[in-house]
Amino acid sequence: MGGNNDSLLTEFILLGLTSNPDMKIILFGLFLGIYLVTLIGNGLLILLTQVDPRLHTPMYFFLSNLSFLDICYTTSTVPQMLVHCLSKRTSISLIRCFTQMYISVFLGTTEFLLLAVMAYDRWVAIYNPLRYTIIMSNRVCFHLAAITWSSAFLLIAVPSLAMHPQFCGSNNIINHFVCEVQAMLKLACSDTSNNQIVMFVTSIFTLLLPFSFIFVTYARIITAVLRIRSAEGRAKAFSTCGSHLTVVTIFYGTTIFIYLQPPSKSSLEQEKVLGVFYGVAIPMMNPLIYSLRNKEVKAAFWKLAGCKGHT
């Protein structure tokens, strides 16, 4: 996306979630609270994986990457939302709008791919536990993380070169709280059918293929777990995958519903509500999902807090 914009167009106006001043104050408090919890929760998870030797494993290495992504992703949108909740003028410059959009899409794509890598890590841990540390060595984990980030960049950068919608200077009101791709395309003066095709093809590589990989991986994981004879062993194996599977279901399910349904069946209000859940709530939920039922994370937290009785 980008180029060939009308020369008169210098900024967009974001309508946000509501025009009610009292509701904006309520949303400001709500979003600020969620944002702080997101920063503290994900930041604490990253800290624990660094300082506690028991968490120096591939699973927690990728989990710290996920937490870092969540911090970056929510920071790319929420601070602007907070400012607009208190401001009468909710404009954003053309450059800032496109920059925000690209950063958000890049980080979201990286998270899709990272969740697929995390599924592979869980499969190796269950399917081949004796060689797990050899297969998932520090070097391999680092390379997988690097490939994830670089692949996401290419998957976003290359298709964007083929997308050149034109915008009219007077048609600059985005019915959303962030610079979201679908909402922006609805403002284009030019034909966006090719843009929609490019977005759909890109979604296959960023959404459907990673999701299919995760689905097949978990099918093999379930097969391997069912072969374990003891009920305790099966329960322990499933518990190591439960948090990841929960995050995958929420993250992929919401995104696929937003971006892969026919445009005729989608509504802007529905997209905005799902956008809040996807872009604001999920980054806060991830560290909670991974820590509440995780004995190792809780033990690391109590150790860091100096409460020996909980270790």
Q: Which pLDDT value is given to residue 229?
A: 78
| Segment 132-165, tens digit of pLDDT | 989 999 999 999 999 999 999 998 887 776 666 7
Who has greater pLDDT, 4 or 199?
Answer: 199
- What is the domain partition of the chain in residue ranges? 12-310
Query: Can you read off the two tokens belonging to residue 54?
Result: 């028991």
Who has greater pLDDT, 260 or 238?
Answer: 238
Q: Which pLDDT value is given to residue 171?
A: 74
Q: Which pLDDT value is given to residue 151?
A: 94
In this prediction, what percent of the chain has a pLDDT beyond 70? Answer: 89
| Segment 31-88, tens digit of pLDDT | 999 999 999 999 999 999 999 888 899 999 999 999 999 999 999 999 999 998 888 8
* Nearest in space to 91 (alpha carbons), one of 174, 24, 167, 17: 174
Helix (H), strand (E), coil (C) string for the chain: CCCCCCCCCCEEEECCCCCCHHHHHHHHHHHHHHHHHHHHHHHHHHHHHHHCHHHCCHHHHHHHHHHHHHHHHHHCCHHHHHHHHHCCCCEEEHHHHHHHHHHHHHHHHHHHHHHHHHHHHHHHHHHCHHHHHHHCCHHHHHHHHHHHHHHHHHHHHHHHCCCCCCECCCCCEECCCCCCHHHHHCCECCCCHHHHHHHHHHHHHHHHHHHHHHHHHHHHHHHHHHCCCCHHHHHHHHHHHHHHHHHHHHHHHHHHHHHCCCHHHCCHHHHHHHHHHHHHHHHHHHHHHHHHCCHHHHHHHHHHHCCHHHC
What is the band of 6 on the pLDDT scale with cuts at 50, 70, 90? very low
Q: Are 100 and 72 in contact (CB under 8 A)?
A: no
| CATH for the 12-310 domain, from 3.40.50.150, 1.10.150.650, 3.40.630.30, 1.20.1070.10 | 1.20.1070.10
Who has greater pLDDT, 258 or 289?
Answer: 289
Measured between alpha carbons, how far is 120 from 143 in angstroms, rounded to an integer? 14
| Segment 89-146, tens digit of pLDDT | 888 888 888 889 889 989 999 999 999 999 999 999 888 888 998 999 999 999 999 9
| Segment 219-242, tens digit of pLDDT | 988 888 888 777 777 777 777 788
| Segment 265-287, tens digit of pLDDT | 556 677 788 788 888 888 998 88
| Segment 11-43, tens digit of pLDDT | 888 888 888 889 999 999 999 999 999 999 999
Does residue 191 have a pLDDT over 90?
no
Distances, alpha carbon 41 to alpha carbons 105, 245, 297, in Å: 23, 19, 12
What is the band of 8 on the pLDDT scale with cuts at 50, 70, 90? low
Measured between alpha carbons, how far is 252 from 204 in angstroms, rounded to an integer? 12
Measured between alpha carbons, how far is 57 from 137 in angstroms, rounded to an integer? 9
Who has greater pLDDT, 169 or 229?
Answer: 229
